[in-house]
Structure 1
Amino acid sequence: MATSRLGFSFLLSLFLAVACSTVARQLRFVTVIYRHGDRSPIKAYPKDPYQESDWPQGFGQLSQVGMMQHWELGQALRTRYSGFLNKSYDRQEAYIRSTDCDRTLMSAEANLAGLYPPEGSQLFNPNISWQPVPVHTVPESQDRLLKFPLLNCPRYQQLQRETRQSAEYVNKTRENANFMAMVANETGIQNISLESVWSVYDTLFCEQSHNLTLPPWVSPNVLQRLKDLKDFSFRFLFGIHRQVEKGRLQGGVLLGQILKNISEAANTSRPQRLKLITYSAHDTTVVALQMALNVYNGKQTPYASCHMFELYEEDSGNFSVEMYFRNESGKEPFPVALPDCPQRCPLQDFLLKTQSVISQEWDHDCQVPSTSQDTEVIIALAVCGSILFLLVILLLTVLFRLQAQPTGYRHVSDEGEDQP
């Protein structure tokens, strides 16, 4: 009987220890990056039967479907972080930033409508289940955090030129030459390339999504091939050649800010009320970030897809980072892990394994190395130096010959001699 009681006590103690351990682990901070919702196409191709006037708000605008997608994502985030975030909006708890683009600003607002429906005193009109929540932005020309690729970077432009010379890019161009010639003929686009063909797929995808009839030349195989080329164009932007360095110049900029915010949240000596930072952006933003993290799956990120960073404080007092990606409405996000790190990655390991793509001096890293930047200058200096060297040799030769003449010899004209 005593043995039975001891066994029961041991099991009870073990259960309580596990329970306490589970309770002790707490979520401390969340960062969310999502793509805008469904939209109209960015542009039409020259022979496109549908032009801007065929879209209610014109090109590149969030649709009602896109609004619903983000409202549902906001509700999903509200459910996921129930008990962590306040039920009602608290401006010191959440910060939202968007690119300065209609569809991302509107996506953020629709998302917030699902995340923070007004309750009690926040309900300013009983007939409106919505409240204004600030969304911050900066002009696109000044956005160096969310608008990728960052083109004002000479070194990145050089890396792209080198990427065009890579075997993979050259082979891909050769393999698709006839196909792209057909697409150019059907669309009326001149000088089509692997870098520009994405816009054809984007336009056709939007038209198909909005139940518009596609031209006869757009078979399912053609549409799939265009999609594959669009996926390749993302890899061209942020990978294929020197992916780590591209990551440092592109997605690593955003990752660096995210990790800075996470590190500040993990600083227990300076507790903060901020719990959530949300970034409303584009597919290129999400891809650039995931390429820098080396977790990109090679496929286009769907509308309203969402990458999450969650900072946890373990019962030991240490911190860990978990990542999740939600790419389909109605389904739970799936876990994402850094290479060579568990999905529950210790914060210090996470920082260590990503430091190669975090730039300490982005402006400096964007400069083209002098060995290639100054090639023409070096050649010009070399030519000038050679000419100068020859002139010096010529001058020394003349001086040497003058000094070699006999001492006291002086040539005078006959006209100055005395007559006998």
Structure 2
Amino acid sequence: MGVIRLSNPSRILYFSFHIILILLQQTTAERELKFVVVVFRHGDRTPVTSFPTDLHKESEWPQGYGQLTKIGMQQLFELGQYTRERYSNFLNSTYNRKEFYIQSTDYDRTIMSAQTYLAGLFPPTGHQIWNPELLWQPIPVHILQKSTDRMLHFPLPDCPHSEELQNETQTSSEFQSRIQPYMDFLQAMAVNTGLELNNLKKLDNFQLWNTYDTLHCEAIHNYTLSVWATKDVMDKMEKLSELSLLSLFGIYKTEEKSRLQGGVLVNVILNSFKQAASSPKQRKMEVYSAHDTTIGALQIALNIFNGKLPPYAACQFFELYQESSGQYSIEMYYRNDTSKDPYLLTLPGCTSSCPLEKFAELVSPVITENWSKECGKKDKMKDIFIGFDVAVALLFIFDLVLLYLLYHYGRCRHRNNYQDI
């Protein structure tokens, strides 16, 4: 067998190339994934409501409105499997409650989505198999009641200033310039759907959006659509639904809106990363099962929104890495198509692998220290104490007046008695 002899320049290039490869491999090996946050939309569901001229009634859907379907279960099971594959070298091969945490909004469809996601992510193996005929294991899904959920279910309710901003958005020039081309279409839709769209210049954020969603759900499940629901009509309704989502959290005074909406979740995620970086802990992943508005509010707050409605099972990944230098960085990926790899997203003003400190600095404008105060909410306890103080003061004044009257009455009676004598 012949020996390949290299000339001196070739040898130098050959060895230089291999040295570079070795250095690159060492750099890659030294970079370590430390923590992951996952936020996803629930899977395919039945319509959440109807409209007056709808051809179908709630009774036609086996579980009624707003419920996860078999298609939705399959979507989230597949997402769980994808997450398992993506982090196979990071997550423990078996479920470990100290490493993993999942939370859902208080809706049947999000809770069930979380459960089917977990079935794909953590199928039991070895000692965790409790029924050989059922490769599934129970894993706790944490839930906040709707009345106390101030993190996942957007738009967050009970925020007067947010409602003011929304009203201002509807009349703003930015919004009106986008809705003007649809005026004739909206009038036609009012007739076709039977909806009372009284003020077409103020797009009801959910009325038309829900109508499009109902038709979209019916189309997915091969229900007969109304004659007027052509592809062109559906496309326009989709655009108006996207405008509705965008107007909720953006278009007008976006930063101010985000402080009261999506920025709340940004702050939760940032604090989780800070804690993971400052004091290494056993938890490796936090997962949130939520809604299209959750992903929309979050992405708009981060200025990474693509303008499209997040589809069923859309998933936003946040990954915290410790670089070879010891510094921490964040990468963001968006999965909205199962046929493609997730999109790498870049926070404006930073690189795709954004240093944690820089990330915190860039998102600080959308983070509030006192959500209730900025919302313009009244402090109920403070009102109670003020009311109590006022009541005490009035009682004190009443006592003084009563004492004065008694004293005055006593003097008058004494004078009258003296005159009688």
Give TM-score, length-normalised by structure 2.
Answer: 0.84
Counterpart of 2:187 (choices 181, 191, 207) is 181
Tell me, yes or no, if structure 1 residue 255 matches structure 2 residue 266.
yes
Counterpart of 1:136 (choices 133, 142, 165) is 142
Q: Give the 5 Å matches for 1:373-384.
A: none
Tell me, yes or no, if structure 1 residue 29 matches structure 2 residue 35.
yes
Q: Is the 8 A contact 2:174 2:252 kept in 1?
A: no
Distance apart, 1:22 and its partner CA: 1.1
1:337 matched to which residue of 2?
A: 346
Q: 1:178 to 1:87 in 2, by over 3 A?
A: same
Cα distance in 2 for partners of 1:8, 1:246 equals 57
Q: 1:7 to 1:48 in 2, by over 3 A?
A: closer
Distance apart, 1:10 and its partner CA: 5.6
Identity of aligned residues (%): 46
Q: Is the 8 A contact 1:98 1:135 kept in 2?
A: yes
Tell me, yes or no, if structure 1 residue 240 matches structure 2 residue 246.
no
2:398 matched to which residue of 1?
A: none
Q: 1:187 to 1:273 in 2, by over 3 A?
A: same
Counterpart of 1:278 (choices 287, 311, 315) is 287
2:74 matched to which residue of 1?
A: 68
Which digits, 9 at most, give the CA deviation of each residue in 1:270-317, with x for residues without a partner?
220000000000000000000000010111000000000000000010
Distance apart, 1:180 and its partner CA: 1.7
Range with bigger deviation, 249-258 or 166-175: 166-175
Counterpart of 1:41 (choices 44, 47, 54) is 47
Tell me, yes or no, if structure 1 residue 166 matches structure 2 residue 172.
yes
Alignment length (residue pairs)? 367
Q: Give the 5 Å matches for 1:17-416.
A: 17-191=23-197, 194-195=203-204, 196-267=207-278, 270-367=279-376
Q: Is the 8 A contact 1:158 1:368 kept in 2?
A: no
| Paired residue secondary structure (1:266) | helix
Q: 1:126 to 1:166 in 2, by over 3 A?
A: same
| Paired residue secondary structure (2:288) | strand
Cα distance in 2 for partners of 1:368, 1:166 equals 24
Which digits, 9 at most, give the CA deviation of each residue in 1:129-164, with x for residues without a partner?
111111000111110000000121111111111112
Q: 1:340 to 1:172 in 2, by over 3 A?
A: closer
Q: Is the 8 A contact 2:172 2:252 kept in 1?
A: yes
In structure 2, stretches of 5+ residues that fail to align are 1-5, 379-421
| Paired residue secondary structure (1:142) | coil
Structure 2 letter corresponding to 1:297:
N
Q: Is the 8 A contact 2:175 2:252 kept in 1?
A: no
Q: Is the 8 A contact 1:304 1:327 kept in 2?
A: yes
Give TM-score, length-normalised by structure 1.
Answer: 0.84
Report the structure number with the largest CA radius of gyration: 1
| Paired residue secondary structure (2:143) | coil
Cα distance in 1 for partners of 2:151, 2:377 equals 21
Which digits, 9 at most, give the CA deviation of each residue in 1:170-198, with x for residues without a partner?
34444323322221212211236522211
In structure 1, stretches of 5+ residues that fail to align are 370-420
Cα distance in 2 for partners of 1:322, 1:54 equals 44
Structure 2 letter corresponding to 1:57:
Q
Structure 1 letter corresponding to 2:188:
M
| Paired residue secondary structure (1:271) | coil
Cα distance in 2 for partners of 1:165, 1:80 equals 45
Q: Is the 8 A contact 1:69 1:329 kept in 2?
A: no
